[in-house]
Amino acid sequence: MIKSKDIWVLGDYRNYFQSRVTLQILARATHLAERTGGQVCAVLFGHKMDEYAGEYIAHGAAKVYVIDDPALKIYSIETYSFLMTRLVREYRPETLLVGATRFGQEVAPRVAKQLKTGLTADCIDLEIDDKGRMVQIAPSFGGNLVARIITPEKRPQMATIRPGTFQELVHDAKARGEIIRLPLPMDMPKEKIRCIFSEYKPSKTKGIEKADIVITGGRGMGSKGKFKKLFELAALMNGEVGATRPVVHSNWINHGALVGQAGKAIRPKILFSFGISGAIQHTAAIMDADFIVAINKNPNATMMKMADVAIVADANQVCSGIIRAIKEKIRD
Ligand SMILES: Cc1cc2nc3c(=O)[nH]c(=O)nc-3n(C[C@H](O)[C@H](O)[C@H](O)COP(=O)(O)OP(=O)(O)OC[C@H]3O[C@@H](n4cnc5c(N)ncnc54)[C@H](O)[C@@H]3O)c2cc1C
C-alpha cells in the first residue's frame, strides 16, 4: 500500500456524550488537510457503530474505516491497539490523532510504541510548518512552557488532543463520505485481560467543556462545605462546576471537574472564578472563555488581572449573595 497524506482520527465514541473530542479533532484535521493535501479519515472499532460513522462524516471525515464485529462490543486495550497498529501499517496515513481522554491516553502510547514512532501527549494546538510537517503544540515543564514538537522522520506523526481544545464543525447532514468496512483479522491476539461485564452510566450533566456557563472554584472557597455552594449557584444558572487542582486533590469535587493542564479546557460564554489565584496550569485552559468574572480577596491575583470583571471580596459572601439575589428574582 502506498503511503498517503491522510490524517486519521481514532474515534472515541464511547465518550461521545461526555466529550465530543473526536468531532473537535476532525474539525482541526479538516483545516490542516487544506494545507497538506490528503483526506481526513476517522477510524472506528466496535459493534453497531453506523450512527457514529455517519456523525463523523457530517463533521468533516471524508472516509470512515470501520471494523464492526460482536467480538469488539466490549472495549479491550489490547485489541484496539492491535487493530489500530495493523490498519496504520496497511494504509500508512501521515498522521494519527486521538482525543486525550482516558481511552486515548492508553491506546495512543501503545500504538506509537508498536509503530516505533513519536507521540505528543495532550496537545493544545496543531499547526503545519513550511515543510508540511505537523507542529504538535503542548504544555511542558509543568505547564510553564508551551513546546512546539515535530516528528522529523518517523510516520505517522501521532498526538493526543486535549478535549475542548478545538471547536467542532457545524453538523452537515448533506456531507458525503465513504464508509469502508473491514473484517476483523483472523489472527487476533489472544487477550490477556478479559472483561466480563461493563455498564454504561450516562452522565446527568452536560459537562464543563460544553457548558455556556461555568462556575469554577479554587482553594479560596475555604472548605468542602463552602465549596458546595457553587453547585447551588450552578443549578440556578443552568451552569456546570469546575475546579482547580488543589480542590480536586482535597476531594471537594471529582476529577472530571478539573480545569487546566491536567484536566479539561473549557470555552464558556461566561466563566465565574471564585477564589482562584490564576496559575498558568489553570488559566491555559480558560483562554477561550468569552467573559470572565473573578472574585478574590487579593486584587493582584493573576486571575483578577485577566478577568473582564474583578470583584475584590470574600468568595463565599459573593456566592451566597448571587444565590440570594437569583432566588429573590425567581420569587418575584
Ligand atoms: C504539572 C502541574 C500541573 C498542574 N495542573 C493543574 C491543572 O490542570 N489545573 C489547576 O487548576 N492547577 C494545576 N496545577 C496547580 C497550579 O499550579 C496551582 O497550584 C493551582 O491552580 C492553584 O489553585 P487555586 O487557585 O485553587 O489555589 P491557590 O493558588 O492557593 O489560590 C487561592 C486563591 O484564593 C484567594 N482567596 C483565599 N481566600 C479567599 C476568600 N475567602 N475569598 C476570595 N478569595 C480568596 C487567594 O487570594 C488566592 O488567589 C498544576 C501544577 C503542576 C505543577
By the 8 A CB rule, do 192 and 78 touch?
yes
Q: Which of 15-29, 216-230, 257-271 is predicted most confidently?
A: 216-230
pLDDT band at 20 (very low <50, low <70, confident <90, very high): confident
Kindly give the number of the ligand 1 atom that is closest to the alpha carbon of 247. 26
Q: Within 10 A of 69 (CB to CB), how many other CB atoms are there?
A: 16
Confidence (pLDDT) at 30: 97
Kindly give the number of the ligand 1 atom that is closest to the alpha carbon of 142. 1
Q: What is the mean pLDDT of residues 199-212?
A: 76
Kindly give the number of the ligand 1 atom that is closest to the alpha carbon of 259. 9
**From the CA of 283, how far away is ligand 1's center (Å)?**
10
Q: In this predicted model, what pLDDT tens digit does every residue of 35-55 receive, in sequence order?
A: 999 999 999 999 988 889 999
pTM score: 0.66
Nearest to 56 by CA among 179, 224, 216, 191: 179
143 lines ligand 1 (CB under 6 A): yes
Which one of 221, 245, 322 would you pick to mutate in the ligand 1 pocket, going by the greatest count of ligand atoms within 8 A of its CB?
245
Q: What is the mean pLDDT of residues 8-12?
A: 95
Sequence ranges of the domains in the chain? 7-181, 213-331
Q: Within 10 A of 14 (CB to CB), how many other CB atoms are there?
A: 16
* CATH architecture group of domain 213-331: 3-Layer(aba) Sandwich (3.40)
What CATH fold (topology level) applies to the domain 7-181? Rossmann fold (3.40.50)
Q: Is the pLDDT of residue 3 over 80?
A: no
Choice among 12-21, 98-107, 153-162, 190-199 with the minimum mean pLDDT: 12-21
Return d(Cα 2, Cα 11) in angstroms, integer.
23
**From the CA of 144, how far away is ligand 1's center (Å)?**
15
Return d(Cα 252, Cα 308) in angstroms, integer.
27
- Assign 149 to helix, strand or coil: strand
Segment 127-135 long-range contacts (CB within 8 Å, at least 24 positions apart)? 127/32, 128/32, 128/35, 128/36, 132/35, 132/36, 133/157, 134/32, 134/36, 134/95, 134/159
Fold: same for 7-181 and 213-331: yes
Return d(Cα 246, Cα 223) in angstroms, integer.
11
